[in-house]
Amino acid sequence: MNRATIDIWVGAFVAAGFAGLLFLALKVGNMASFSLDKTYDVQAKFANIGGLKPRAPIKSAGVVVGRVSQIQFDNQSYEANVTFTIDAQYQFPRDTSAKILTSGLLGEQYVGLEAGGDSAMLKSGERVRLTQSAVVLENLISQFLFNKAAEDKEAKDKK
Amino acid sequence: MSQPPIVDIDRVSFGYDVARPVLHDVTVRMPQGKVFAIMGQSGCGKTTLLRIIGGALRPTSGTARVLGMDVASLDTGELYALRRKMGMLFQFGALFTDLSVYDNVAFPLREHTDLPAGVIRDLVLLKLEAVGLRGAAQLKPSELSGGMARRVALARAIALDPKLIMYDEPFTALDPISLGVVTRLIRRLNDSLGATSIVVTHDVAETLPFVDHVFFMADGRVVAEGPPAEVVRAQVPFVTQFVHGSLDGAVPFHFPAPAYPADLGLDAKA
Amino acid sequence: MALREPLQRLGHSMTERILRLGFAARFFAYMLLHSGTALRRFHLTIREIYFAGVLSLIIILVSGLFVGMVLALQGYETLQRYGSSEALGILVALSLVRELGPVVAGLLFASRAGSAITAEIGLMKATEQIAAMEMMAVDPIARVVAPRFWAGVISMPLLAVLFSAMGIFGGYLVGVQLIGVDEGAFWSQMQAKVDFRNDILNGVIKSVVFGVAVTWIAVFEGYDAQPTAEGVSSATTRTVVTSSLAILALDFVLTALMFTGGNAG
């Protein structure tokens, strides 16, 4: 086994390894999306973030436009302070609203942005004013039961 | 003797642990240009002495000077520099099995010199020619007979033209022809290189004819030394028994054991 | 006291093991410090990459293919019961890239290349080739051990990546071609959920760590083997066993660090 043959085989081996890595990165992973693009950060306060986690997607019209980068507890207002990292190519008006939604019925939570009508755009470091917290299942159930009880009482009163 | 001895072992003792010393107070002096033999039974310490000369072991007391340097006091770099002036032939050759004969002999040249490939080629072929194996340059060690492998290892040991060549049991398992070849090569190479050779062996018949000076060792001590003819005549009991291969003498035939009748139970009280 | 001898033996074997671990650590440090030759005369390392990496390709690729195919088969059975058979791509890809790729490739590498390295070095020791090298003033650790170590560290991540890639291909073959899961859903859901930084890169980091561990164990056991036939044979067995345990233990530690704790980012 002379040196030239060995060199060829090793070169082919390393090339195949990198090709495999490229395949994984592009075809399998989400590298095609913006790991290297420019981004800007905005903040938003929520009464309850539910199951929102860092790196959760931020979608507008169903398209991913950014990721949640940080979640902190504000000890003054007793609310959650969430930092959004949004792709620089997407600009949102200053009266955009942010809602915490669930994908599917019981899936993971993400942030949905609905653009407002303001002509001025959100800039890095600014705050999204209109927010809607996550739907907490227990509150929903107790509300449903309360409504049901109220309905029954009404029906009984009518008789 | 105007020149200092190539090997100067002065009252060296060595033991792997204190309770069992392998060498006791050994003094050996070897001037340049001669072929020396260290002979004795297995386990008498001759290979240990060789390893101390090579710097692989440190004496627990005494000094070992090789080529003028105290081997025990050298650091790794200095020891390696010293070893470049020595060549060693291991018992079964110790050729690198993944390299060809050519690459084995070229190994020290490639590792220690910056010589261009053409010069290395000339040197390798020169060394192989000296041992008679120039035609086998492209073979692998697995394709060589024992005797041939030994000769290739010899060519490798002299690749850098060493001043001191050591042979650890070079005659083990060789047929008579290979034996004759190796003994003649040891002598011829020593003389043509102007080097000093040390042969550790217990092969009396082959060794005494061609060496200049013999050291006999038993139980970690030098019991006799001198030119072969003198030592054999000197009537040291161990030497006599060793040289003649006698059954009993300084070294008893029977390993220490209790009395034979007692062991067989013949002394049993009825 | 009847327990005395067993206790003594236990204590003795524990002290032996710790001493040996210390020796292995010093050996590791020495090898790293003397890696200059392996890196300057890179052809030595390339030769070892051939013997450790290239010659392991067949078993890695075939095993990867089969593991991926089995994942798809087993995964489909469970997923389709909850109507989530379109998540098959995610299941296969994440299992391979995060766990099975580095771990199984590591185990296979340990058995094939690790044992070969141990046997080779052990045999060189037994036939006095190491001693001959030392007598020729060539440091055997720099010349023989270090190139094999770096070759292992370089080969391991490449093999793990190829294992995962083959596995995903095998999953695709079984899931899409054989079973009939929608091809578009298979790939698009996978791409949505497999993150390059968190999943793929972490998997590569794991395989590098495994490569260091396995090759270190392999070269050390070979270098420390008893110079007899039984010595080399038991050193080879020890390499495979110790490497496998090390891979599984390290996998647990790395997984805990990398993939759990949702707020770790």
pLDDT score recorded for residue C263: 38
| A contact test, residue of C71, C196, C200 with most A CBs within 10 A | C196
| Count of domains for chain A | 2
A8 and A70 both lie in a single domain: no
Tokens of B127: 């060394």
Task: With a cut of 60, say whether residue B270 has pLDDT above it.
Answer: no
What are residue B29's DSSP bridge partners?
B8
Q: How many CA atoms lie within 13 A of A115 on its CB side?
A: 14
A83 and A64 both lie in a single domain: yes
Task: With a cut of 70, say whether residue A36 has pLDDT above it.
Answer: no
Q: Who among C162, C191, C262 is closest to A30 (CB)?
A: C191
Task: With a cut of 70, say whether residue A32 has pLDDT above it.
Answer: no
CB contact under 8 A, B83 and C135: yes
Rounded CA-CA distance A54/C147 in Å is 43
pTM beyond 0.90? no
A113 and A50 both lie in a single domain: yes
Domain extent, residue A27, equals 1-32
Give percent of chain A with pLDDT exceeding 70. Answer: 91
3-state secondary structure of A57: strand
3-state secondary structure of B164: strand
A61 and A23 both lie in a single domain: no
Specify if A154 maps to a domain.
no
What average pLDDT does chain A have?
Answer: 84
The reply to whether A22 touches chain C by the CB within 8 Å rule is no
Over residues B80-88, mean pLDDT: 90
Q: Which residue of C has its CA nearest to B88?
A: C135
Task: With a cut of 80, say whether residue B1 has pLDDT above it.
Answer: no
Side chain identity at residue A125, one-letter code = G
A52 and A1 both lie in a single domain: no
Place of tokens 């022809």: B177
A118 and A49 both lie in a single domain: yes
Specify if A158 maps to a domain.
no
The reply to whether C42 touches chain A by the CB within 8 Å rule is no
A3 and A57 both lie in a single domain: no
Specify if A157 maps to a domain.
no
Comparing CA positions, the residue from B57, B111, B99, B193 lying closest to residue C137 is B111
The reply to whether A108 touches chain C by the CB within 8 Å rule is no
pLDDT in tens, A55-111: 788 889 988 888 888 889 988 888 889 998 888 888 888 888 999 888 776 677 888
Tokens of C2: 């009847």
* Chain B contact set for C131 (CB, 8 A): 56, 90, 94
pLDDT score recorded for residue A122: 84
A3 and A64 both lie in a single domain: no
Name the more confident of A13 and C181: A13
Specify if A130 maps to a domain.
yes
A130 and A75 both lie in a single domain: yes
Q: Who among B54, B88, B96 is closest to C129 (CB)?
A: B96
ipTM: 0.83
Domain residue limits, chain C: 34-101+114-258
A13 and A76 both lie in a single domain: no
pLDDT score recorded for residue C85: 85
The reply to whether B78 touches chain C by the CB within 8 Å rule is no
The reply to whether A35 touches chain C by the CB within 8 Å rule is yes
Contact C254, C209 (CB under 8 A): yes
The reply to whether B6 touches chain C by the CB within 8 Å rule is no
pLDDT score recorded for residue A51: 81
With a CB cutoff of 8 Å and minimum separation 6, the contacts of B157 are B87, B88, B89, B165
Specify if A57 maps to a domain.
yes
A88 and A65 both lie in a single domain: yes
A46 and A120 both lie in a single domain: yes
What average pLDDT does chain B have?
Answer: 87
Dihedral angle, C-alpha A86, A87, A90, A93, nearest 10 °: 20
Specify if A52 maps to a domain.
yes
Q: Catalogue the E-assigned strands of chain B.
A: 7-17, 20-30, 35-40, 61-66, 69-70, 86-89, 164-168, 196-201, 213-218, 221-226
CB contact under 8 A, A29 and C200: yes
3-state secondary structure of A132: strand
pLDDT score recorded for residue A9: 94
Contact B34, B196 (CB under 8 A): yes
Position A138 confidence tier, pLDDT thresholds 50, 70, 90: confident
The reply to whether B99 touches chain C by the CB within 8 Å rule is no
With a CB cutoff of 8 Å and minimum separation 6, the contacts of B96 are B103, B104, B107, B141, C124, C129, C132
Q: How far is B267 from chain C (nearest CA, A)?
A: 38
> DSSP per residue over B182-207, as a string?
HHHHHHHHHHHHT-EEEEEE--HHHH
